[in-house]
Amino acid sequence: MTEEPVENILKLTHLWVKHHLNIYSVKVAAREEVGMGSWKQRMDFPFSRSGLTLGAACSLSLMKDILTNAISEYPEEKTKVFCAVLQQLRTLGGEQIRNVASLGGNIVSRKSTSDLNPILAASNCMLNLASRGGKRQIPLSDIFADGVGNNTITPEEILVSVYIPHSRKGEYVSAFRQAPRRENALPITNAGMRVLFEEGTDLIKDLSIFYGGAVSTTICAKQTCRTLIGRHWNEQMLDEACQLILKEIALPGSPSGEKVDYKKILVVSFFYRFFLEVLQSLRTMDPCRYPGIPMEYRSVLQDFKTKIPQSIQIYQDIEPSQSPQDPVGRPIMHQSGIKHATGEAVYIDDLPSVDGELFLAVVTSSRAHAKIVSIDTSEALKGPGVFDIITAHDVPATNEFYYSDGPEIIFARNKVICVGQIVCAVVADSDIHAKQAAAKVKIEYEVLEPVILTIEEAIKHNSFFEPKRKLEHGNVDQAFETVDNIIEGEIHIGGQEHFYMETQSVLAVPIGEDKEMDVYVSTQHPAIIQEMVAASLGVPANRIMCHVKRVGGAFGGKLLKAGLLASVAAVAANKTSRAVRLILSRGDDMLITGGRHPFIGKYKVGFMNDGRIRAVDAKYYINGGCTPDDSVLVAEVSLLKMDNAYKIPNLRCWAYACKTNLPSNTAFRGFGFPQSALVTETWITGVADKTGLSPEKIREINMYKENEQTHFKQKLDPQNLIRCWNECIEKSAYYSRKTAVNEFNKQNYWKKKGIAIVPMKFPFGLGTRYLSQAAALVHIYTDGSVLLTHGGIEMGQGIHTKMIQVASRELNIPMSCIHFCETSTTTVPNACASAGSAGTDVNGMAVKDACQTLLKRLQPIINKNPKGTWNDWIKEAFEQSVSLSATGYFRGYNENMDWEKGEGQPFTYFLYGAACSEVEINCLTGDHKNLRTDIVMDIGYSINPAVDIGQIEGAFVQGIGLYTMEELKYSPEGVLYTRGPDQYKIPAVCDIPEQFSVSLLSSSQNPYAIYASKGIGEAGLFLGSSVFFALRDAVTSVRNERGLKKTFALNSPLTAEQIRASCADDFTEMMKNNESTSSTPRAISV
Ligand SMILES: Cc1cc2nc3c(=O)[nH]c(=O)nc-3n(C[C@H](O)[C@H](O)[C@H](O)COP(=O)(O)OP(=O)(O)OC[C@H]3O[C@@H](n4cnc5c(N)ncnc54)[C@H](O)[C@@H]3O)c2cc1C
């Protein structure tokens, strides 16, 4: 190690510390130990005989490399600390974070969620500090000695390097962590533990236990460690240790709503895992004295590891007779795929700035239900660059839109009805100035009663949007009298954030004459944007031109919500006569725009002992939030699709859209089906539990058969449903794997596997004809190139790629001749929303129609010169004054539903599918791994199998998110806590099943849609529930083994926390007996 004068170290490290505040900036490595010389030198440099010293500026990635290298070079006995630190580094943040985050930064910021501090502190690591006063060395654990992490390092000091000691003979070191997602997620709780035994014995000589994530800083179980010195490493010590730890680590409720009980269970479960690890290690020392742990306990010592998923896509080849140029049915790459990946694809925020453009930041309500007493904008107006403040008074015409039972509101006028409602907006010369000023707007409120947040509260206050809906079929009451058995239950399904990559974005540009305005917006529904903006400004729709090139994901979240935000920007642009750009931050987007409806399904199911379900009586409640949006429609769809794949002869169900003081919820991929079908599959498994038959048997017995009708009397042909089911059973080798799962479960106590297969019927339709009409416009230019447009929106799902395929087939020209520029209200008026999986179906028909019109016009010219080229014919057509532009139109599907009678044909056809998933859970932590999923889907004749399978895979993974991990947390005052990727976890690569196969059902045709295809956007999402039920299967196996109650309820999302709580054991019992367990939850279930 070079001796560097303190002054020099300070200069270098200060420079680095300064730069280092920006995580993306290049760091000047602290020269002390690492950061100089060649790679090899760097690797060799830091080692000494007793340990390793790393410079504080060492990136976590470099640290990982150094430790990996050290482990391979040193004897195992010396590297136990290195191994434990490396264990944490593997899942700490992600690769990008580890590349820029530094060892020193991680330690000094003293975050409770640091994955390094607990293990470094437990391992007796030392910090080398320097200041103008000199250098000194302190144990890392000293920083946390005061229990709040404020100790010891003075503001003048900098951390120069960190000394990590070798482990010694008889010393065992481990690190643990549990996060909401295995990778790229801060830990819920983590731990570092070290024990040193008296030589050749199991008598504890030194013990060190540190936890992170539990309280506001890293914390040491000091007393526990002291008390246990001199004890033997045995069950008695374990019992005592757990009691002591629970007493010492008093956990307060965390403001973000994380439940304390789970952290407590983790705290003791981690110690138990350490106990097992050490017992097993002692065995290697002396197998006669220390027999190690039972065989069936050993698998829990292995953590789940992420492997690169292996995926298989199976689809039918095109007919050999098909022309090589005809792209229909071929797996063509998304036309913008490369641009999406390189970042060249243009989204709203990428549009070049317009002269004089202003930025808009919204000011939102901080109360759930209150009168606005005053709005003080004086401080905000003084802010730098502030141009104006826009309120309801600046809306020239409509501030409130009535689409159903109650208004959708642009700006709150006199009162607010949820936290996150837009009250006013600041426009300024930059985004940052607008946001700074927005924070200075002071709003005085007078709280109004009642504040209704949850479904239960809405029921209590009879607060619903109208109409309430009911479907009844057969004679339910009579059927209940004749059944062998009845179960009753309830399931709560949490909401879901759309989490589109592109947040809500608008650029409103006043043209400067005749009140015209261009509105560039990220929406699925340009026509509604045009309508709402025109109505708010009080101008005819023909003055508002709405343009959408592409949308960075929408999933249903960019319909009415985008219209309100576009109106906010347009009102500001109108008032200021400037272009106004509004790009919601992720936090604001999550706060303001709502998402999938939280759902409660209450059910009573009557069935025979042989598994036949005879009667269902159910009530569904969805949390609609503060305005109606599509809530009643979502409730209706949840009723219409509640049967999933089953014929229920006697059925009654009510659906209520609850009116609450939460941000208004809205459309989301699946539109009520993912929730109502989960309720159905829940009672299916309930019936299985009660009858002792397997869930798949119950599913098969009750599945639709030939010539049956739905509960609203629509006929269906279930042949492909049964084919999907059988193929899925076969392709997944379900029965042999189920046997293997059972075998695994017999041999493993703390790890269990689960497997489940779930069928799906997904009805396609929008309920009425006018909602599925569509139009297209096709121009042929004289150079032969074709410009195509239609009313559909590209939101990543590949609609434009498919439409170009359609035009290519119809015009018989290569796809490369056809271009799609944008969707716009100026080219296709009154287009319906791209929603409900209908985009390709309806726009495809319109494009086909337009192309056929053009081809008809060209036909005489082609007939005259059959050997001519496309360009020859176009030139000739132009010279003959044949119009080279045509519109195409599709009237929509003849769908209807009579809610009075409870009968109708609301759907045009049905998609079918089945998914089989296998998982493994860790009963000590609740963690799980998705091992394998096999999906078989009937999507008719796929126009583009690459795009369609992408939709199935993407939707399935979004379903995994909904059912197993995505948790929205609200405060008891109605404030959304989870407002970004830090708090709200969507699935990542580590959550994709290790083996993932999607097969499209062969020889399936659909007479109702373009080229016999089926609309595929939404259906796959529900298949994510197969993971939910596989988890349930694993939990059932735990509970059966432990003799626990057979009937148990699981809610969605089935998070690690819930899995852990359901795998009841001595540790969960310990929690019950622990006095401080009764801490009030800080988050409410809405
Ligand atoms: C998205 C994301 C995910 C993450 N996930 C995890 C995770 O899962 N687990 C985990 O443990 N961490 C995680 N982190 C935190 C990360 O590992 C680093 O701890 C964090 O970024 C701070 O390190 P830094 O190098 O950026 O320090 P900085 O942010 O630059 O510094 C932090 C503070 O320490 C001070 N400081 C830095 N170096 C010194 C020094 N040598 N002497 C004195 N003061 C100093 C700085 O002045 C500053 O006040 C995550 C971070 C991000 C952004």
Candidates 787, 767, 765, 768; CA nearest to 776 is 787
pLDDT score of 931 more than 80? yes
The closest residue, in CA terms, to atom 15 on ligand 1 is: 106
Residue 779 Cα to ligand 1 middle (Å): 56
How far does Cα 512 stand from its chain's mean position? 42
Ligand 1 atom closest to residue 179's alpha carbon, by position in its atom list: 8
How far does Cα 731 stand from its chain's mean position? 28
Q: What is the pLDDT of residues 560-618, one digit of tens each?
A: 999 999 999 999 999 999 999 999 999 999 999 999 999 999 999 999 999 999 999 99
Residue 872 Cα to ligand 1 middle (Å): 66
Ligand 1 atom closest to residue 30's alpha carbon, by position in its atom list: 41
The closest residue, in CA terms, to atom 33 on ligand 1 is: 109
Say how many residues make up the chain. 1086
Ligand 1 atom closest to residue 186's alpha carbon, by position in its atom list: 8
Give me the pLDDT at residue 23, please. 30
Query: DSSP letter string over 1045-1065?
Result: -S-----BS--HHHHHHHS--
* Three-state DSSP state, 673: helix
Out of 27, 59, 159, 186, mutate this one to test ligand 1's pocket (max ligand atoms within 8 Å of CB): namely 186
The closest residue, in CA terms, to atom 4 on ligand 1 is: 93
The closest residue, in CA terms, to atom 31 on ligand 1 is: 105
Between CA 1061 and CA 808 the distance in angstroms is 56
Out of 102, 115, 184, mutate this one to test ligand 1's pocket (max ligand atoms within 8 Å of CB): namely 102
Q: What is the pLDDT of residues 297-347, one digit of tens each?
A: 999 999 998 888 999 999 999 999 999 999 999 999 999 999 999 999 999
The closest residue, in CA terms, to atom 38 on ligand 1 is: 105
407-429 as b/e, with b when 16 or more CB fall inside 10 Å? ebbbbbeeebbbbbbbbbbbbbb
Residue 1084 Cα to ligand 1 middle (Å): 31
Residue 111 Cα to ligand 1 middle (Å): 8
Between CA 115 and CA 64 the distance in angstroms is 13
The closest residue, in CA terms, to atom 23 on ligand 1 is: 105
Give me the pLDDT at residue 143, please. 87
The closest residue, in CA terms, to atom 50 on ligand 1 is: 93
pTM for this prediction: 0.94
3-state SS, 907-952, equals: CCEEEEEEEEEEEEEECCCCCEEEEEEEEEEECECCCCHHHHHHHH
- Residue 509, beta-bridge partner list: 518
Q: What is the pLDDT of residues 68-114, one digit of tens each?
A: 999 999 999 999 999 999 999 999 999 999 999 999 999 999 999 99
Please state the φ and ψ torsions of residue 74, each to the nearest 5 degrees: -100, 155
pLDDT score of 747 more than 50? yes
Ligand 1 atom closest to residue 57's alpha carbon, by position in its atom list: 41
Residue 68 Cα to ligand 1 middle (Å): 22
Out of 97, 161, 188, mutate this one to test ligand 1's pocket (max ligand atoms within 8 Å of CB): namely 97
Ligand 1 pocket by C-beta < 6 Å: which residues? 13, 17, 20-21, 23, 56, 92-93, 97, 101-102, 104-106, 108-109, 113-116, 158-159, 186
Candidates 162, 168, 172, 170; CA nearest to 141 is 162
Residue 106 Cα to ligand 1 middle (Å): 4
Give me the pLDDT at residue 256, please. 54
Out of 17, 24, 129, mutate this one to test ligand 1's pocket (max ligand atoms within 8 Å of CB): namely 17
Residue 215 Cα to ligand 1 middle (Å): 18
The closest residue, in CA terms, to atom 37 on ligand 1 is: 105
CB 910 within 8 A of CB 673: no
Percentage of the residues of the chain whose pLDDT score is greater than 90: 88
Cis peptide, bond prior to residue 860, ω within 30 of zero:
no
The closest residue, in CA terms, to atom 36 on ligand 1 is: 105
Higher-confidence residue: 213 or 147?
A: 213
pLDDT tier for residue 254 given thresholds of 50, 70 and 90: low
pLDDT score of 15 more than 50? no
Residue 102 Cα to ligand 1 middle (Å): 6
Residue 258 token pair: 């994380």
Total H helices, total E strands in the chain: 30, 37
> Which residues 6+ apart lie within 8 Å of 174 measured at CB?
84, 87, 192, 193, 194, 273, 274, 277
Ligand 1 atom closest to residue 106's alpha carbon, by position in its atom list: 19
Q: What is the pLDDT of residues 462-504, one digit of tens each?
A: 999 999 999 999 999 999 999 999 999 999 999 999 999 999 9
Ligand 1 atom closest to residue 116's alpha carbon, by position in its atom list: 11
Residue 776 token pair: 């297209």
Please state the φ and ψ torsions of residue 122, each to the nearest 5 degrees: -65, -25
CA atoms within 13 A on the CB side of 342: 6
pLDDT tier for residue 285 given thresholds of 50, 70 and 90: confident
CA atoms within 13 A on the CB side of 515: 14
Residue 778 Cα to ligand 1 middle (Å): 55
pLDDT score of 3 more than 50? no
Please state the φ and ψ torsions of residue 528, each to the nearest 5 degrees: -75, -30
Q: What is the pLDDT of residues 166-209, one digit of tens each?
A: 999 999 999 999 999 999 999 999 999 999 999 999 999 999 99
Residue 545 token pair: 């031109």
Residue 257 Cα to ligand 1 middle (Å): 24
Give me the pLDDT at residue 211, please. 96
CB 242 within 8 A of CB 1070: yes
The closest residue, in CA terms, to atom 26 on ligand 1 is: 101
Q: Which helix (H) or strand (E) holds 653?
A: strand 650-659
Q: With left for phi above 0 and alpha for psi between -120 and 50, is residue 832 left, alpha or beta?
A: beta
Q: Which helix (H) or strand (E) holds 837?
A: none
User: Which is the catalytic residue, given 32, 502, 700, 1018?
Assistant: 1018
Cα dist from 153 to 36, 124, 130, 565, 775, whole Å: 26, 17, 10, 48, 69
Residue 744 token pair: 């695994």
pLDDT score of 732 more than 60? yes
Please state the φ and ψ torsions of residue 769, each to the nearest 5 degrees: -65, -45
- Site of tokens 């001749």: 817
Residue 812 burial (CB count, 10 A): 13
CB 301 within 8 A of CB 275: no
Residue 60 Cα to ligand 1 middle (Å): 10
Ligand 1 atom closest to residue 160's alpha carbon, by position in its atom list: 41
Between CA 648 and CA 473 the distance in angstroms is 9
Mean pLDDT rounded to a whole number for the chain: 93
pLDDT tier for residue 1075 given thresholds of 50, 70 and 90: low
* Three-state DSSP state, 474: coil
How confident is the model over 48-55, as a mean pLDDT? Answer: 89
Ligand 1 atom closest to residue 60's alpha carbon, by position in its atom list: 17
Out of 53, 63, 109, mutate this one to test ligand 1's pocket (max ligand atoms within 8 Å of CB): namely 109
Residue 303 Cα to ligand 1 middle (Å): 25
Between CA 764 and CA 747 the distance in angstroms is 45
- Residue 613, beta-bridge partner list: 607
CB 1024 within 8 A of CB 887: no
Candidates 116, 6, 112; CA nearest to 54 is 116
Amino acid, res. 454 = T
Q: Is 319 a catalytic residue?
A: no
Between CA 526 and CA 535 the distance in angstroms is 14
Percentage of the residues of the chain whose pLDDT score is greater than 70: 94
Between CA 612 and CA 627 the distance in angstroms is 41
Please state the φ and ψ torsions of residue 542, each to the nearest 5 degrees: -70, -5
Ligand 1 atom closest to residue 185's alpha carbon, by position in its atom list: 8
Out of 61, 108, 128, mutate this one to test ligand 1's pocket (max ligand atoms within 8 Å of CB): namely 108
Give me the pLDDT at residue 12, please. 41
pLDDT score of 152 more than 90? no
Give me the pLDDT at residue 253, please. 55
pLDDT score of 40 more than 60? no
